[in-house]
Structure 1
């Protein structure tokens, strides 16, 4: 199985548990690893036969624009569900970092894996 990678994608959204966080837009950084078989796309040199990472990145920002969550955990879980359903992704690993959450840390966040590899 092959993997499409998207690294350090900057996404702006309203997220946080504190009242002041609910009034500002914060930046998240996302890393994704998406399982697919690239051989058909490579053989035909056809974007329609693979995961379109530009379309996926656009959908992620639209998801962030349309939703406001208290927890990064909820953001990650719902985004993973969205991507798997809309792009027929059978397996993904998603890391979400919130750089501004803890001043003493470069970032904090989490990594989830969803789906099953064939």
Structure 2
């Protein structure tokens, strides 16, 4: 069965914006990610070995966002989705980003 787990209000600083004054210093963005995956085995075993380690996902998002720069929120949102979907166990992702 497919289940949804959310990472909410992950705050990360990055260079984002199209105006020159927006690109001088990193700005904080708030990231919310909904992740759908098959958790059938992990809900029975209650073992981290049988599920997605969301701490790892968060670290991957933080590392990517902090070490990149973006003109558009849309681009940042799309790229975060691609980072999350690198884990083949994840079936679907929804990303929301705000400044």
Q: Do Structure 1 and Structure 2 share a fold, with TM-score over 0.5?
A: yes
Contact 2:14 2:28 in 1 (8 A): yes
Please give the secondary structure, in 2, of the residue aligned with 1:20.
helix
Looking at secondary structure, tell me which structure has more strand per residue: 2
Question: How do 1:4-19 residues align onto structure 2 when only pairs under 5 Å count?
Answer: 4-19=5-20
Offset of residue 94 of structure 1: 0.7
Please give the secondary structure, in 1, of the residue aligned with 2:71.
coil
Bigger relative CO (Cα 8 Å, ≥ 6 apart): 2
Offset of residue 64 of structure 1: 0.8
Q: Deviations over 1:3-34 (max 9, x none)?
A: 11111111111111111111101111111110
Q: Which residue of 1 aligns with 2:36?
A: 35
Structure 2: give runs of 5+ residues left out of the alignment.
none
Q: Which residue of 2 aligns with 1:24?
A: 25
Question: How do 1:19-98 residues align onto structure 2 when only pairs under 5 Å count?
Answer: 19-85=20-86, 87-88=87-88, 89-98=90-99
- Number of aligned residue pairs: give it: 97
- Return structure 1 stretches of 4+ with deviation > 4 angstroms: none
User: RMSD across aligned C-alpha pairs, in angstroms?
Assistant: 1.1
TM-score normalised by the chain length of structure 2 = 0.90
Contact 1:4 1:51 in 2 (8 A): no
